A and B are shown apart, each in its own frame.
Chain A
Amino acid sequence: NAGVTQTPKFQVLKTGQSMTLQCAQDMNHNSMYWYRQDPGMGLRLIYYSASEGTTDKGEVPNGYNVSRLNKREFSLRLESAAPSQTSVYFCASSPVPISGNTIYFGEGSWLTVV
């Protein structure tokens, strides 16, 4: 039972490079999310997809783009990486886009931009 799977787990990028973080869930959840975690800042929402075919900005969307490829997959793209995007990124999913639903997180992707 995989849950939420994200790749890669570790990545080092040079400033200006681009990359895509991949995420897939096997729980048939409608909603998917991308968070970043920084020391002392907790978890901040970058983008979310309430349901297949929709995406919305979260708290910190600048510098990122997302694609909800199908119900299972939600990718996060950094078009031109900056050192400020060094962070741990978590993909997550939940059953329905309403309050009160558990969010299930992946194991994280450690990204360093040099």
Chain B
Amino acid sequence: GENVEQHPSTLSVQEGDSAVIKCTYSDSASNYFPWYKQELGKGPQLIIDIRSNVGEKKDQRIAVTLNKTAKHFSLHITETQPEDSAVYFCAASIGGTGGFKTIFGAGTRLFVKA
């Protein structure tokens, strides 16, 4: 089955710096890659996603890149702010009739120091 590895597990950056979180997946059939942000005491919330027919997607300060050949995808946060501090999860999803399966990475705890 699908396996998603996420690195690093913890990331500390200075406010204003960039943060990069990387994930790899194992199943080449995966075709949808969402990123979720989980703030303390809350459930995860989708922040950006990318599909397998797209190489890069941006939304203000966040961007995601996908390399299908290498089975890598990454989250880039520029000009980090203290409110970006949270746990971030990548995920890989395989579609199909009758149901779906989304496999999550183990998460990255991001600290943005003011």
Please report A residues at the B interface, Cβ cutoff 8 Å. 4, 31, 40-45, 48, 50, 56, 58, 90, 92, 97-103, 105-108
Contact = CB atoms under 8 A, between A and B. Distances in A.
B46 A103 contact: yes
Interface residues of B, number: 30
Interface stretch (B62-70, B72-80, B99-107): B99-107
Nearest to A102: B46
A101 B6 CA distance: 21
Nearest to B30: A99
Contacts, number: 68
Given A40-B106, A42-B105, A43-B104, A97 B98 contact: yes
10 contacts: A42-B106, A45-B102, A50-B99, A50-B100, A56-B99, A58-B101, A98-B96, A100-B95, A102-B46, A107-B43
